[in-house]
């Protein structure tokens, strides 16, 4: 709730939580190579480094990188990472999938740069989540353009996100089908990212999960060739 007025505390907390989740599924981060794709200004990369990982930030948008990105941050698009195959122990992407027009292709690139048996952490806010419309949520339930117009009326400024431009309607059921059909990853966990309980249970209920999960976290493991 305090993301707008205190982003630093909010994202530092989120980064600690995400790093705990990565460690819970993949073991200690010390010495691991972590690739953070679409990592914004680098809160997550910094947290992975604090835990001893060799973490690298790849972010296409200079404005998102901000004035003080982590050392060595690379301006790069997640569709085409300037990395060799299989270099990462952990490939990490937090809240990026709903901002790309072609999620399966984006996912393929994350898989490509992950080593066999390495972990892929992907989370996103799905469209029917109460937060699906981002800054114009929950009014997106009444239609994206209407919600955007309401945001402009209320705040006097244009919303950052526009459906079909930099925000896309990504659904949980479809995304789960897409990852389960792949033969290069196994799904270790499909769960709500933020729910402290019933996190995997809620994702098992078709229909309900689109509204109740809020944010889907997929932990994938790259299959050996
Ligand atoms: C909501 S922010 C998330 C930032 C950070 N990962 C977090 O969880 O706070 C979405 C990020 O996705 C990035 N992004 C959008 N399209 C991308 C792409 N094709 N490849 C990599 N990153 C992308 C944006 O620039 C932005 O930094």
Cα–Cα dist 54/5, whole Å: 31
pLDDT, tens digit, 9 for 90 and up, residues 17-52: 999 999 999 999 999 999 999 999 999 999 999 999
What is the CA(60)–ligand 1 centre distance, in A?
A: 8
Task: Please state whether the predicted TM-score (pTM) of the whole model is above 0.85.
Answer: yes
Name, in order, each residue with C-beta under 8 angstroms of 134's C-beta and a sequence gap of 6 or more: 125, 159, 160, 161, 167
User: Buried b / exposed e across 5-44, counting CB within 10 Å, b at 16+?
Assistant: eeeeeebeebbeebbebbbeebeebeebbbbbbbbbbbbb
Instruction: For the chain, give the mean pLDDT.
Output: 97
Mutate-to-test residue for ligand 1 from 40, 63, 66, 93, highest number of ligand atoms within 8 A of CB: 40
What is the CB < 6 Å shell around ligand 1? 11, 37-40, 59-61, 64, 77-79, 94-96, 99-100
What is the token pair recorded at 127? Answer: 């469209």
Among 10, 18, 37, 38, say which to mutate for ligand 1: greatest number of ligand atoms within 8 Å of CB: 38
Tokens 């209320």 belong to which residue? 154
pLDDT in tens, 69-100: 999 999 999 999 999 999 999 999 999 999 99
Among candidates 70, 16, 17, which has minimal Cα distance to 41? 70
Cis peptide before 138 (omega within 30 of 0): yes
């Amino acid at each position: 709730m305090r993301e707008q007025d205190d982003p630093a505390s909010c994202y530092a907390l989120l980064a600690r939580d995400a790093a705990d989740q990565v460690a819970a599924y993949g073991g200690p981060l010390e010495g691991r190579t972590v690739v953070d794709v679409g990592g914004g200004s680098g809160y997550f990369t910094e947290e992975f480094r604090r835990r001893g990982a060799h973490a690298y930030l790849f972010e296409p948008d200079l404005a998102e990188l901000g004035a003080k990105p982590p050392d060595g941050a690379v301006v790069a698009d997640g569709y085409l990472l300037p990395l060799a195959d299989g270099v990462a122990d952990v490939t990490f992407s937090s809240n990026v999938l709903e901002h790309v027009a072609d999620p399966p292709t984006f996912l393929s690139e994350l898989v490509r740069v992950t080593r066999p048996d390495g972990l892929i952490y992907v989370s996103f806010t799905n469209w029917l989540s109460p937060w699906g419309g981002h800054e114009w949520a929950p009014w997106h339930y009444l239609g994206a353009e209407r919600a955007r117009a309401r945001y402009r009326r209320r705040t006097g400024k244009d919303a950052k996100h526009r459906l079909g431009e930099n925000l896309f309607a990504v659904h949980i059921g479809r995304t789960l089908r897409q990852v389960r059909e792949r033969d290069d990853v196994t799904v270790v966990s499909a769960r709500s990212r933020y729910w402290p309980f019933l996190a995997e249970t809620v994702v098992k209920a078709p229909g309900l999960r689109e509204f109740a999960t809020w944010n889907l976290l997929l932990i994938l493991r790259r299959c050996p060739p």
